[in-house]
């Protein structure tokens, strides 16, 4: 059963067990999906109010652009666990002959690349989500300001958590060009997302 199809309690029971996956990567993706879902909720609770018409355009745009982010981050919850399982399965492969050793090395390399690509993509998605949430600060239903703040915190958690998963897998990425790209672009996203989230969250606090 996919993680996204589980009951919340069952998912949490699995998470707290000694099973190595789901782990931090899937949790990060879930945080990102929650963040987008929350600011989409705020958008709906703004556009449904005639007295907040001046904010309708901003919120409608955020919701429209947020939907594909939500869908991909939701899918990323399972993709991260699947990528981890690729590595775990690769390490279990036989290594008696040279052919087996070569196949095992390739499987580990392929799994490590996937385990880096997935959280990197989740970083990108959450970063885009943060940019959308920021546009809504001060331009959405003031009764939902705390919800928007929580959305921002969840999106930041996704970026930060996914970045750690990228970092821990980078040493195993054999393609030097790809490893360099993940390192440089990931670091940019990490720092920029942190700045955006901090400012947006501080601005939300002034509304409370």
Percent of the chain exceeding pLDDT 90 equals 93
Q: Each residue of 33-82: pLDDT tens digit?
A: 999 999 999 999 999 999 999 999 999 999 999 999 999 999 999 999 99
**Positive or negative: CA dihedral 59, 60, 64, 65:** negative
What does the pLDDT read at residue 164? 97
Number of DSSP helices (H) and strands (E) in the chain, helices first: 6, 0
What backbone torsions phi and psi does residue 26 show, to the nearest 5 degrees?
-65, -40
* Contact between residue 127 and residue 191 where contact means Cβ atoms under 8 Å apart: no
Length of the chain: 208
What does the pLDDT read at residue 154? 98
Confidence of residue 1 (pLDDT cuts 50, 70, 90): confident
What does the pLDDT read at residue 18? 95
What does the pLDDT read at residue 2? 95
Name the burial class of residue 116, with classes exposed (0-12), middle (13-18) and buried (19+) by CB atoms within 10 angstroms of its CB.
Answer: buried
- Tell me the pLDDT of the chain averaged across its residues: 96
Percent of the chain exceeding pLDDT 70 equals 100
What does the pLDDT read at residue 121? 98
Q: Which domains does the chain have, with CATH numbers?
A: 21-207 (1.20.120.680)
Confidence of residue 101 (pLDDT cuts 50, 70, 90): confident
Q: Each residue of 109-144: pLDDT tens digit?
A: 999 999 999 999 999 999 999 999 999 999 999 999
What backbone torsions phi and psi does residue 16 show, to the nearest 5 degrees?
-85, -5
- CA dist 146 and 18 (Å) reads 34
Q: Over 90: is that where the pLDDT of 206 sits?
A: yes
Q: Over 90: is that where the pLDDT of 150 sits?
A: yes
- CA dist 99 and 112 (Å) reads 20
Task: Collect all residues with Cβ–Cβ distance below 8 Å to 188 and sequence separation of at least 6.
Answer: none
* Residue in the block written with tokens 């989230």: 197
Task: Collect all residues with Cβ–Cβ distance below 8 Å to 84 and sequence separation of at least 6.
Answer: 20, 21, 23, 25, 115
**What is the average per-residue pLDDT within 25-38?**
98
**What is the average per-residue pLDDT within 91-114?**
91
Q: Please give, one letter per residue, the 3-state secondary structure of 145-207.
A: HHHHHHHHHHHHHHHHHHHHHHHHHHHHCCCHHHHHHHHHHHHHHHHHHHHHHHHHHHHHHHH
Q: Over 90: is that where the pLDDT of 7 sits?
A: yes
Task: Collect all residues with Cβ–Cβ distance below 8 Å to 187 and sequence separation of at least 6.
Answer: none
User: DSSP 3-state assignment of 69?
Assistant: helix
């Amino acid at each position: 059963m996919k993680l996204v199809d589980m009951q919340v309690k069952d998912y949490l029971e699995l998470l707290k067990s000694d099973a190595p996956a789901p782990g931090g990567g899937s949790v990060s993706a879930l945080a990102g999906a929650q963040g987008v879902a929350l600011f989409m909720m705020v958008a709906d609770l703004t556009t449904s109010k005639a007295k907040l018409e001046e904010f309708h355009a901003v919120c409608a745009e955020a919701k429209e652009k947020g939907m594909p982010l939500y869908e991909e981050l939701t899918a990323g919850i399972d993709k991260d666990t699947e990528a981890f399982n690729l590595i775990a399965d690769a390490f279990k492969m036989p290594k008696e002959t040279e052919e087996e050793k070569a196949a095992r090395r390739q499987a580990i390399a392929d799994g490590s690349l996937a385990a880096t690509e997935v959280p990197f993509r989740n970083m990108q998605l959450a970063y885009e989500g943060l940019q959308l949430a920021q546009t809504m600060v001060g331009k959405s239903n003031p009764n939902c300001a705390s919800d928007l703040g929580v959305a921002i915190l969840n999106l930041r958690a996704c970026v930060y958590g996914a970045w750690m998963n990228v970092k821990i897998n980078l040493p195993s990425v054999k393609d030097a060009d790809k490893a360099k790209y993940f390192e440089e672009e990931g670091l940019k996203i990490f720092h920029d997302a942190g700045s955006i989230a901090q400012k947006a969250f501080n601005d939300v606090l002034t509304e409370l």
